[in-house]
Copies of this chain bind each other. A is one copy, B any other.
Amino acid sequence: MQAINTFNQSFEQYMQQHPFKAEPLELYEPIDYILQLGGKRMRPLMLLMSYALFNDDYEKALPAAYAIEIFHNFSLVHDDIMDQAPLRRGKPTVHEKWNVNTGILSGDVMLVYAYEYLLKLENLTRLPEIIKIFNRFAIEVCEGQQMDMNFERCTHVTIEEYLKMIELKTSVLLAGAMKIGGIIADADGKDLHHLYEIGRNIGLAFQIQDDYLDTFGDPAKFGKKVGGDIAQNKKTYLIIKALEIADTDNKAKLQMLISNNTMQEAEKIQTVTQLLHDLGIPELANNKKLDYQEIAYAHLEAIDVAPKRKVALKAIADYLLNRDI
């Protein structure tokens, strides 16, 4: 964890030094609010660590790390409006604390500020490449959110469609952040490819782990209520995989359960969880997660720098992907 803490402290300090205190207050206060709600800062930290694979002075990449964090929080503010979510990290969402218009407009200006922070990099020689990558994941994150909203109205979602959706909504941002870190360090095309694939595969593994923990996690460690996805009829990896492999009877039973809104919640969670267990879903999900994790680690292995330079990235990947599964 020591390896992670150094980056984390630098990043938090940079954020504190660059607040959004400006007029009109109605526009900027919500930005400081959402950015101060916390979170793991996993995207900016992994950008900094990607830079630090090649050079010591990772402080040079701080403006880009902040750009990524601002972008991520912009997407949270707008997604929370679309999903009508009342809480984010246990606190009221921006549109709840203020109103929907504030959420829209403060989100918009955050997206612009993300680009503005990219301009604060010391060396702008490779700016077109950086913006190209930034645009790509920004577009893909929107496409992923659209797919996610479409899935709510779909009766049938395939595993491929689900994996594509989480790749767009979650993984490409981490992948792009790591690649940008590499570009700022002037890494070559081969290493940039490895960085992208590390981020993409860690993102996929993390999301499947997230689905797993929501149903099978240890309530004492999970932080959120276990079974929330089932209670909300969410089409997670677990449910989609179960529908794919179940026989006709179990499939019908599961279909009935996930479209049932009258059953008592605790009973529904228990029944679905048991059915998923019986179908061997925990192991299948864990194996799928491990597949992605292994690919990520192989790409990290393939980057041609001294092993000690990889310690921080390895530590954060272990931390993210070994949460009680």
Q: Name A's B-contacting residues (CB within 8 A).
A: 23-24, 26-27, 78, 81-82, 100-101, 104-105, 107-109, 111-113, 115-116, 119, 124, 127-128, 131-132, 134-135, 138-139, 142-143, 145-147, 149-150
Contacts and interface: CB of A to CB of B under 8 A. Distances in A.
A116 B107 CA distance: 19
Nearest to A111: B111
Q: How many copies does the complex hold?
A: 2
Given A119-B132, A119-B135, A128-B119, A150 B112 contact: no
B105 A142 contact: yes
Contacts of A26: 146, 149-150
A162 B139 CA distance: 35
Contacts of A150: 24, 26
A146 to B, nearest CB: 4
18 contacts: A24-B143, A24-B147, A26-B150, A27-B142, A27-B143, A78-B104, A78-B108, A82-B101, A82-B104, A100-B100, A104-B104, A105-B142, A111-B112, A115-B115, A116-B139, A124-B128, A127-B127, A127-B128
B108 A142 contact: yes
Interface SS of chain A: helix
A27 B107 CA distance: 18
A24 B146 contact: yes
Contacts of A132: 119
A286 to B, nearest CB: 30
Contact of A116 (B27, B101, B105, B135): B135
Given A101-B149, A108-B108, 10 more contacts: A24-B150, A26-B149, A27-B143, A81-B104, A82-B104, A108-B142, A111-B111, A112-B135, A112-B142, A127-B127
A169 B108 CA distance: 14
Nearest to A81: B104
A139 B119 contact: no
A187 B111 CA distance: 29
A166 to B, nearest CB: 15
